[in-house]
Chains A and B, each alone.
Chain A
Amino acid sequence: MSVIEVRELTKVFKIPKKEIGLTGAIKALFMPKYEQKTAVDRVNFQIDEGEVVGYIGVNGAGKSTTIKMLTGILVPTSGHARVLGRDPHKERVANAREIGVVFGQRTQLWWDLAFIESLNLVARIYQVPETRYKKLLDQFAEMLELKELFHVPIRNMSLGQKMRAELAATLIHEPRVVYLDEPTIGLDLIVKERIREFIKEQNQTKSTTVVLTTHDLGDIEELCKRVIIIDAGRLIYDGPIETIKQQFGKYREITFETIHSSERVTLPSGAETTHVEPRRLTVRFDRTLTTASQVAAALMNQIEVKDFSLSEPDLASIIKQIYNGALNREAA
């Protein structure tokens, strides 16, 4: 059953355009000029119950704007979104009861209150039955190591503590759909690991649907089977993470360290330089067209090589290629 359905979803922001300086400010006061910025551009996708989907893109690609439309905060300019069969904006309160949202850089907890007091209030707002609440509290306390945080006010917490507290508060009413907007931003590896485990566990035991936006590809590799990539508001990829790996996995990279600087080298077909520095050269080649030894031999004939290394592409570099337009090139 599909829980999230997005059709031709579009959001255009009207942004006041100001010239720099005092005269610019005065002009803007009397004759405001606006610029149209399309943050999300005719996006289509559908997410089923129990899926964990990575929603990725560079900063400003339109990820958060999409999430905000799905939570009912922003009204789409055109197209439509349905979450659990509802229009998220028109039925904002009903929608809010069944979803959970973490905005990585904000908090839904009360700044001055001890964490447990905030949590009690959140549970009350979502009308979590008393016995269920007690049970979940114990579970969460153990999984996220919250015991010693219960009596600490949010304002005194470290970033990692705050995020663990935030996640507990977001999932205490066992929402059917959870949006996590950069939940691991700025966290150390141990906290990241704990948070990923927690999300995975919630998804597996309760079939919670999770939409995750992140710049951390570790999150994606550990949690998501499917990714949706958007760039400049347009959906550019939607499919299994494996397909991406295979499609781009045919490339390998060799980095050469050379004695002298050399910018112009001739390479066998299927290979190209991707990165040039003085005395360092990175070459990417298609394994179906050429081989590592051919590339290396061709290069060694032209310049003196001190050292070289061969690397398998990780997801990070694949995503980087996609952002840089590799998908379009593939299609062409």
Chain B
Amino acid sequence: MIQSLRRNVSIYSAIASTAAKARLAYNMWVWADFFATIISMFIFVYFWRAVYAGETTLSGLTLAQTINYILLARLLAPLVETRTIYFFGYMIRQGQIAVELTRPLDMQLRVVVETFAELATFLVQRLPLFLLAWLIFGLQLPSNPAVWIAFFISLILGQAVLFLFDWMFACLAFYVTETWGLSVVRIGVGSFFSGALVPLVMMPGWLQNIAAAMPFAQAMSVPVSFLSGITSLADAPRLWTIQIIWLAALLILSRVIFSITVRKVTVQGG
């Protein structure tokens, strides 16, 4: 038991560091991303200033709170874009799935480890952008370490929820082989209902209900609301419980779906 745990830690930590290295192989991409994100922050900040013209609060949020939230949402937006769905489609279309399935690894564990390693690398690469957001737009970050802890816990739980949700959709690739369209739709819907574009509290009640029924907010709105000061620390235990329930349900469901659909695999190209 302990031995197999040690073996797994040794294997999957090596996979994590490889995924991080592979991501760092593309430096140009980082600069392009910096540029695009700065532009998008400008657009969003001026948009919200225009919306607030003459108003002091909207849905209980001040302009400063909204801008703070939206800057953080812009900085973290790529976290609700999925790579899993596209990755599955690519693997199956190219027949690479054959190679992946001959590795002595739990495929889901391996992909989640890689995804999280990439996310962590991504966040570190984006640190200079946080600094710029502070310099240019006056981004406010909390000084209370407890808030940061609440943020990171809910971020990790929420990202795991989103990963498992995407995993289930990714399994569709075993049937349709082409998942590009699916991943475009998923990113559009996900950005909107995660609160990456508009704070969820500003949405009409029925839209908020829909958003709550979907897992996207868990990965974005919930953690970012801690960091931007919209959610107070007192709400943390309740929010974490909801996240853990999502996580447990999706973990079981996604594993069952994978083990059924993987039997459908027909490896392309002989």
By a CB distance below 8 angstroms, the chain B residues around A113 are 18, 21-22, 25
By a CB distance below 8 angstroms, the chain B residues around A97 are 104
By a CB distance below 8 angstroms, the chain A residues around B102 are 71-73, 96, 99, 101, 108
Given known A-B contacts A96-B104, A97-B104, A124-B10, A103 and B22 have beta carbons under 8 A apart: no
Given known A-B contacts A64-B270, A106-B95, A73 and B21 have beta carbons under 8 A apart: no
Given known A-B contacts A96-B102, A124-B11, A112 and B22 have beta carbons under 8 A apart: yes
B99 an interface residue at 8 Å Cβ cutoff? yes
By a CB distance below 8 angstroms, the chain A residues around B263 are 75
| In contact, A121 and B104 (Cβ under 8 angstroms) | no
Q: How far is the CB of A69 from chain B (nearest CB, A)?
A: 11
Which residue on A lies nearest to B23, using beta carbons?
A112
| In contact, A59 and B98 (Cβ under 8 angstroms) | no
| In contact, A74 and B104 (Cβ under 8 angstroms) | no
| In contact, A124 and B14 (Cβ under 8 angstroms) | yes
Instruction: Give the contact-size bracket for chain A.
Output: 35 or more
A266 an interface residue at 8 Å Cβ cutoff? no
A124–B265 Cα distance when bound, in Å, is: 27
| In contact, A74 and B95 (Cβ under 8 angstroms) | no
Q: How far is the CB of A131 from chain B (nearest CB, A)?
A: 16
Q: How far is the CB of A27 from chain B (nearest CB, A)?
A: 17
| In contact, A74 and B267 (Cβ under 8 angstroms) | yes
Given known A-B contacts A73-B265, A127-B7, A108 and B18 have beta carbons under 8 A apart: no
Q: How far is the CB of B256 from chain A (nearest CB, A)?
A: 16
Interfacial residues of chain B within 165-204, with CB under 8 A of chain A in the complex: none
A169–B269 Cα distance when bound, in Å, is: 23
B37 an interface residue at 8 Å Cβ cutoff? no
| In contact, B21 and A117 (Cβ under 8 angstroms) | yes
B101 an interface residue at 8 Å Cβ cutoff? yes
Residue ranges of B at the interface with A (Cβ–Cβ < 8 Å): 7, 10-11, 14-15, 18, 21-22, 25-26, 94-99, 101-106, 263, 265-267, 269-270
A101–B99 Cα distance when bound, in Å, is: 8
By a CB distance below 8 angstroms, the chain B residues around A2 are none
By a CB distance below 8 angstroms, the chain A residues around B94 are 106
By a CB distance below 8 angstroms, the chain B residues around A74 are 265-267
Q: Which 3 residue pairs across A and B have the least CB separation, nearest first?
A: A96-B104, A112-B25, A124-B14
Given known A-B contacts A113-B22, A121-B18, A93 and B266 have beta carbons under 8 A apart: no
A46 an interface residue at 8 Å Cβ cutoff? no
| 0 or 1 for each of A89-132: is its CB under 8 Å from B? (1 = yes) | 00011101101010101111011110001001100111100000
A107–B98 Cα distance when bound, in Å, is: 10
A270 an interface residue at 8 Å Cβ cutoff? no
| 0 or 1 for each of A45-79: is its CB under 8 Å from B? (1 = yes) | 00000000000000110001100100111110000
Given known A-B contacts A110-B22, A112-B25, A117-B21, A125 and B96 have beta carbons under 8 A apart: no
A93–B104 Cα distance when bound, in Å, is: 4
By a CB distance below 8 angstroms, the chain B residues around A34 are none
By a CB distance below 8 angstroms, the chain B residues around A237 are none
Q: How far is the CB of A111 from chain B (nearest CB, A)?
A: 8
A13 an interface residue at 8 Å Cβ cutoff? yes
Which residue on B lies nearest to A13, using beta carbons?
B266
A97–B4 Cα distance when bound, in Å, is: 14
By a CB distance below 8 angstroms, the chain A residues around B106 are 93
From A59, A110, A120, A125, give the contact of B11 (CB < 8 A).
A125
By a CB distance below 8 angstroms, the chain A residues around B15 are 121, 125
A106–B95 Cα distance when bound, in Å, is: 8
By a CB distance below 8 angstroms, the chain B residues around A120 are 14
Which residue on B lies nearest to A61, using beta carbons?
B270
Given known A-B contacts A64-B270, A121-B14, A103 and B99 have beta carbons under 8 A apart: yes
| In contact, B103 and A108 (Cβ under 8 angstroms) | yes
| In contact, A72 and B270 (Cβ under 8 angstroms) | no
By a CB distance below 8 angstroms, the chain B residues around A127 are 7, 10-11
Given known A-B contacts A112-B25, A113-B21, A124-B11, A68 and B98 have beta carbons under 8 A apart: yes
Which residue on B lies nearest to A107, using beta carbons?
B99
A152–B102 Cα distance when bound, in Å, is: 24
Which residue on B lies nearest to A101, using beta carbons?
B102
Q: 13 pairs across A/B with beta carbons < 8 Å?
A: A71-B101, A73-B265, A73-B267, A74-B266, A74-B267, A93-B106, A96-B104, A106-B95, A108-B103, A113-B18, A120-B14, A125-B15, A153-B25
| In contact, A125 and B14 (Cβ under 8 angstroms) | yes
Q: How far is the CB of A84 from chain B (nearest CB, A)?
A: 13
| 0 or 1 for each of A208-247: is its CB under 8 Å from B? (1 = yes) | 0000000000000000000000000000000000000000
| In contact, A68 and B267 (Cβ under 8 angstroms) | yes
A73–B15 Cα distance when bound, in Å, is: 22
Which residue on B lies nearest to A89, using beta carbons?
B263
| In contact, B25 and A125 (Cβ under 8 angstroms) | no
| In contact, B10 and A59 (Cβ under 8 angstroms) | no
By a CB distance below 8 angstroms, the chain A residues around B104 are 93-94, 96-97, 125-126
| In contact, B101 and A92 (Cβ under 8 angstroms) | yes
A99–B15 Cα distance when bound, in Å, is: 20
A299–B110 Cα distance when bound, in Å, is: 70
By a CB distance below 8 angstroms, the chain A residues around B99 are 101, 103, 106-108
Which residue on A lies nearest to B14, using beta carbons?
A124
